[in-house]
Amino acid sequence: MAIRNTIRVTKTDSTFEREKLIRPIGFKGGYLTELWQTVSRLQSETGHHTVGLATQSVLYGDADLFAAYSEAGGNALMYALVERTLQLVRQTPFETPVQLLDAILPEVIREGIRITGKPDLNPNFIYNALISVDNAAWLLYAAENGLTQFDDLIPEPYRPALSHRNNKVAIMYQVPYGMPVEELRQAVRQGYFVMKIKTGYPGSQEEMVQKDMERLTEIHRAIGDAPTDQTASGKIVYTLDANARYERKETLLRYLDHAKSIGALDQIILIEEPLREENDEEVSDIGIPVAGDESVHDEASARRRLDQGYGALVLKGIAKTLSLSLKVAKLAHERGVPCLCADLTVNPILIDWHKNLAARLAPFPGIGMGLLETNGDMNYLHWNTLKGYHPVAGAPWTTAKNGVFELDNDFYHRSGGILTPSNHYESLFTYAC
């Protein structure tokens, strides 16, 4: 067994940058206009310091809280929880980031409820607030133990689940409510072949499903027959993401019946989190794999979804922490269930954190490679500037080609650049170390 150093954090700091979006992003019945990039700094008693990143998404974290506050107000509440979490980290020695998360999580939950005044605060809000801290903790863990590659970071119990080396990762191209059809056609011309369609339109359940069906018809008419050489069928494929907006399976089946009537059903390979978290209906009879996403907060909730017939689990290392994602990936591996990685419209550096996960998962069924959603390039107003903050900006594996990221030995050797400090984010802390 490897001997790990006990890490004691003595100094912390944080800041954030507000990044505007090209157009409002719609999901969960709401719309985002900006995303805060939160940056946390940890310094240990040995003098090592690291800077961790997060993209805050209050709408993803807790849609009810998002609706109850201004957009900036909701972000301010999450940032306040980041600050409180950093105080807890200074009080909590740890050997691994997984151990740190387990130790502080109960108090972070209590603090989240206190700060927001929301007794039923969604756990995803908590995890989103933990991202930059967890990110910095993994980097500090690497520095304290002399680890220089992502593979070395993964504690032994989680390595079998992340033992693959895909040479390609397919990109799930996000299709939000209001995206013009011509942009979809352009994406297909650029080689994208996995289209992630946002469902769950705002409104009542009846209004929602009607609009969802109309939108699928519009999309399928525009690109359904487009050819691709990346799938066995020669056709592009769809995944659906309702962000738990459907209250009952019956309503989802209406949508799928419509998909069949327009000839789109055979191209749907996955449905992400269609039903509300409290819904306990069996889904193995739907005929299309259903993936647990928002409702997966820990190993117990992941097991619950698998027991209900869910056929895949979504990893969100950039929304629910890498530490939790390792636990979920381990469980999925033990149950023989595939995983994919879904986005939170994160910045380019966090994409490569997530890409390191997707690269090492077993190839997704029907795709034959890793599966990763990334949509920052289509949503951030200053995306090219953000790309410039990446420590290895311009590396071939940071750029999409024909709908995939092509991963070579250099990607694996350099761990996608994530263990190399970013000059921009380091410069946000200008005091002497």
One domain for residues 199 and 117: no
What CA–CA distance (Å, rounded) separates 99 from 133? 13
pLDDT tens digits for range 196-228: 999 999 899 999 999 999 999 999 999 999 999
Please check the confidence at residue 240 and state whether its pLDDT lies above 70: yes
Using pLDDT thresholds of 50, 70 and 90, give the confidence band for residue 29. confident
User: Of the candidates 89, 81, 78, which has an alpha carbon nearest to the alpha carbon of residue 136?
Assistant: 89
Please check the confidence at residue 394 and state whether its pLDDT lies above 90: yes
What CA–CA distance (Å, rounded) separates 340 from 292? 10
One domain for residues 343 and 239: yes
Is 430 inside any structural domain?
no
What CA–CA distance (Å, rounded) separates 377 from 364? 24
One domain for residues 128 and 174: no
Last residue of a domain, one of 116, 147, 178: 147
Please check the confidence at residue 433 and state whether its pLDDT lies above 80: no
One domain for residues 88 and 201: no
* Residue whose entry in the numeric block shows the structure tokens 């506050």: 69
What does pLDDT average to over the chain?
95
Please check the confidence at residue 386 and state whether its pLDDT lies above 80: yes
Is 429 inside any structural domain?
no
Last residue of a domain, one of 147, 182, 205: 147
One domain for residues 93 and 167: no
Phi/psi-derived region of residue 133, left when phi > 0, alpha when psi is between -120 and 50, beta in every other case: alpha
Is 433 inside any structural domain?
no
Residue 60: enclosing H or E segment and its boundaries? helix 58-61
One domain for residues 53 and 181: no
One domain for residues 128 and 222: no
Last residue of a domain, one of 147, 165, 198: 147
Average pLDDT over residues 32-44: 98
Non-local CB neighbours of 111 within 8 Å, separated by 6+ positions: 81, 84, 85, 88
One domain for residues 104 and 239: no
One domain for residues 105 and 194: no
What CA–CA distance (Å, rounded) separates 291 from 268? 13
Q: How many CB atoms are closer than 10 A to CB 427? A: 10
CA dihedral of residues 400, 405, 408, 409 (deg, nearest 10) = 110
Residue 134 maps to which CATH number? 3.30.390.10
Is 431 inside any structural domain?
no
- What integer pLDDT is reported at residue 366 of this predicted model? 86
Segments forming the whole domain that contains residue 107: 9-147
Average pLDDT over residues 139-166: 97
One domain for residues 131 and 208: no
Is 2 inside any structural domain?
no
Residue 212 maps to which CATH number? 3.20.20.120
User: Of the candidates 46, 39, 42, which has an alpha carbon nearest to the alpha carbon of residue 97?
Assistant: 42
Q: Which amino acid is at 119?
A: P
Which residues are 175's β-sheet partners? 197
Considering its fold, how many domains does the chain have in total? Answer: 2
Using pLDDT thresholds of 50, 70 and 90, give the confidence band for residue 1. very low
Is 41 inside any structural domain?
yes
- What integer pLDDT is reported at residue 83 of this predicted model? 98
pLDDT tens digits for range 72-89: 999 999 999 999 999 999
Phi/psi-derived region of residue 244, left when phi > 0, alpha when psi is between -120 and 50, beta in every other case: left
Is 90 inside any structural domain?
yes
Report helix, strand or coil for 318. Answer: coil
231: tokens are 């799938």
pLDDT tens digits for range 283-338: 999 999 999 998 999 999 999 999 999 999 999 999 999 999 999 999 999 999 99
- What integer pLDDT is reported at residue 431 of this predicted model? 65
Average pLDDT over residues 66-70: 97
Strand 30-44 relative to strand 9-27: parallel, antiparallel, unpaired? antiparallel
Q: How many CB atoms are closer than 10 A to CB 151? A: 15
* Residue whose entry in the numeric block shows the structure tokens 């939160």: 38
One domain for residues 288 and 386: yes
One domain for residues 50 and 140: yes
What pTM, to 2 d.p., does this model score? 0.94
Is 290 inside any structural domain?
yes
254: tokens are 């209406």
What CA–CA distance (Å, rounded) separates 358 from 213? 31
